[in-house]
């Protein structure tokens, strides 16, 4: 299963992003395909915080539109929502201790631990920091082929 990180969601949603066309096409392909994919709940929260923030975007997305976008992605029959499962603290502990991250990088470790708890094979992200969370594989779907 694939999980999609916040930055891919933001680029797919924001038409003013230089990666908009590519990110939108990637999500459309996932939504129309038969391979299971997912969005971790922390990525949903971060997406909503970023696209509606007036200090990040001159014309932020109104919250109703941002929520409408999330609902549309999650309406794909192959999309799953990922949250912290029972016993999650064990996976989070293992990820944190293996990666030795601290501070603000704990947020990324949380996403990685949620993904691994649900058997995600690959996280699609443009954030290189996720490479530290082996064995989770990372793929940048926005990079040139």
Question: How many structural domains are present in the chain?
Answer: 1
Assess if residue 76 is contained within a domain. Answer: yes
Assess if residue 144 is contained within a domain. Answer: no
* CATH number for 39: 3.40.50.1010
Assess if residue 112 is contained within a domain. Answer: yes
The range of the structural domain enclosing residue 44 comes to: 2-139
Assess if residue 145 is contained within a domain. Answer: no
Assess if residue 26 is contained within a domain. Answer: yes
Q: What is the 3-state secondary structure (H, E, C) of the chain?
A: CEEECHHHHHHHHCCCCCCHHHHHHHHHHHHHCCCCEEEEHHHHHHHHHHHCCCCCCCCCCCHHHHHHHHHHHHCCCCEEEECCCCCHHHHHHHHHHHHCCCHHHHHHHHHHHHHHHCCCCEEECCCHHHHHCCCCEEECCCCCC
Per-residue pLDDT of the chain (145 residues; tens, 9 = 90+): 999 999 999 999 999 999 999 999 999 999 999 999 999 999 999 999 999 999 999 999 999 999 999 999 999 999 999 999 999 999 999 999 999 999 999 999 999 999 999 999 999 999 999 999 999 999 999 998 7
């Amino acid at each position: 299963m694939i999980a999609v990180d916040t930055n891919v969601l933001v680029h797919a949603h924001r038409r003013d992003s230089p990666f908009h066309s590519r990110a939108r096409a990637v999500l459309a392909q996932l939504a129309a395909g038969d391979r299971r994919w997912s969005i971790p709940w922390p990525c949903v929260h971060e997406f909503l915080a970023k696209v509606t923030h007036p200090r990040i975007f001159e014309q932020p997305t109104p919250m109703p539109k941002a929520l409408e976008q999330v609902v549309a992605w999650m309406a794909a029959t192959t999309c799953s929502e990922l949250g912290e499962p029972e016993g999650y603290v064990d996976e989070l502990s293992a990820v944190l201790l293996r990666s030795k991250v601290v501070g603000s990088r704990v947020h990324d470790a949380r996403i990685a631990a949620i993904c691994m708890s649900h058997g995600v094979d690959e996280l699609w992200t443009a954030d290189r920091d996720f490479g530290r969370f082996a064995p989770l594989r990372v793929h940048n779907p926005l990079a040139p082929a």
